[in-house]
Structure 1
Amino acid sequence: MNYRPLNSSKNYLVTGAAGFIGYYLSRRLLEQGCVVIGIDNLNDYYDVNLKYARLNQLKSFERFTFIEDDIADKVMIKSIFENYKPNIVVNLAAQAGVRYSIENPDVYIQSNIIGFYNILEACRHYPVEHLVYASSSSVYGSNKEVPFRETDFVDSPVSLYAATKKSNELMAYTYSHLYDIPATGLRFFTVYGPLGRPDMAYFSFVDKYVAGDPIKIFNNGDFEHDLYRDFTFVDDIVTGIVRLLSNPSIGEDGVPHKVFNIGNNNPEKLMNFIESLEKCLSNALGREVVFEKVYEPIKPGDVPATYASTDLLQQVVGFKPETPIKEGLQKFVDWYVEFYNVK
């Protein structure tokens, strides 16, 4: 393993810097003395107050520059590359959400396809040392072989969101092949943690409880064939990204492009996850918490299981995510109770 540590003398461009993972990555880089240029359009897909809360923390760092704009604006992206000359680019800006993509396909094409194309074009005309970009575990679709490996067949996406992420991998590979751009795609597996996304199940379950509403569980009440998810704590995701930043890989065909899973390699049954969340909330509030539950059929675009093989990541950078679910959920719940002043 020829591992190179993070180089803090480089300029890092992080798109989606006010997003969940973008915020944590930017903060980690800033804490290590890096210069970070952050871009975000601060859209209202979920509560923008969370984005401003993240952004305000980043703005306390002297080496942080923030640009409020959209990566779908090609002229703006070109000017940022011209003015700031980033050495390493991390593209985390994307329209997220599987179910939302069924109702609002336009924004996914705009952000995930056109926006990513603009980033690739900028990396082509203003060469960078490494482009790292977010893919997703959703590219595996309804894959029956577990754990999911980077070499698995991923040509049957079951949502438009998944299709855009698979498209990103293909586009990045082509640009790496044609223009010798070192690029790395990261397939994230169900990321959770403090300051997270309210559209994610763990966050919305606590929201529902606080509002006095039942939570919806999309497994038809079938506990024997329950949904499985590889929940990955955000700090582990960021450690994986940071370790890869100075370590672009060459594929077996000689193209400087590689894709990695970043997941916990330890899937949890959805019902066990909910039980852990109830216990963590009970700890935080000092009283027993039990969610009222309503069972519904699995939604279109959802997949029954996600389970990451992290062998490749471990082999290249010597790291695998391993934060226990109870530890990660307690950190989330403690933050939630304080941030929203829950009694």
Structure 2
Amino acid sequence: MLSVLSGHTDCVYSLLNKGASVEAKDKWGRTALHRGALTGHEECVEALLQHSASFLVRDCKGRTPVHLAAESGHIGVLGGLLHAAQSVETLPVITDNQGYTPLHWACYNVEDLTLKQDFVIAYVTEGNSFSPLHCAVINDNEGAAEMLIDTLGPAIVNATDTKNRTPLHAAAFTDHVECLQLLLGHNAQVNSPDASGKTSLMMAAENGQTNAVELLVSSAKAELTLQDAVKNTALHLACSKGHETSALLILEKITDRNLINSTKRSLTDAVTRCSQKWSDGGGSGATSEGYTPALACAPNKDVADCLALILATMMPVSPCNPAPSLSFSAINHYTTSPSKSV
């Protein structure tokens, strides 16, 4: 193991000729071949394979030497291991303890990896439902993603994992625009929801991924009115997380004013919270923090102060007169000017 780790090929041959076991394992269940695959010492790996070292032996995490070679991007070693695999009449599905195949690891960890077509077909059809394409786009590995689509067909673009997330969700989550464009160019379903009802746009908005948000609302024409399982729109998520740029990008595309005023929580919830805080304040007209019942609905002091500012600028509106509105320039004035105490 030490000889392989350091790439001392002559030493490896000498020890093998003296009867050293190629199947000896360390406390993590790794053999000398595992180390050769991880370090990329091709001649050492060849020596081990000549002495019938098993490329299917698993370590404590269920990973074979093929997994480690793919993960590390050692093309020469990977080629030797794949050649050895051709001698096996029935090749078992090679997955680790998490269900990941060597292809999963190659697409996730290696940015510039040229994979053989037979390698793709051999290892892509089984394993964890978070597919190799998910792994490629979440790590911005556009080359591997394109190769997978070309080899296996565009149907894999809309593959879903156990949480119903597509590769488009993964690319939006990490703000990888080139991968988003690749997926959309192969008819990725832009409005497909995951198990929690979130679309790719919602995922991008919630995480403040402005490049992804801009692409999805502009080029991909993502639907803005969709709601997740708890009635959040993409605008709700962007605003709740304080992602101003993402929120403004969405606002620019909104034509229906009702969408801006759509509610997430019911009035019953608000009244319940208000009543509780009102009773905590002793019913004297203000809570212990000095807030009126209306402001007591706010989840924290900062929100209450914002509500106070809004309420202070509101004027009674008769049914015949439209409500006054602020222009975007006015909004920008408030968001860019130095903060003042309210």
Q: Which has the higher strand share?
A: 1
Larger radius of gyration: 2
TM-score (norm 1): 0.25
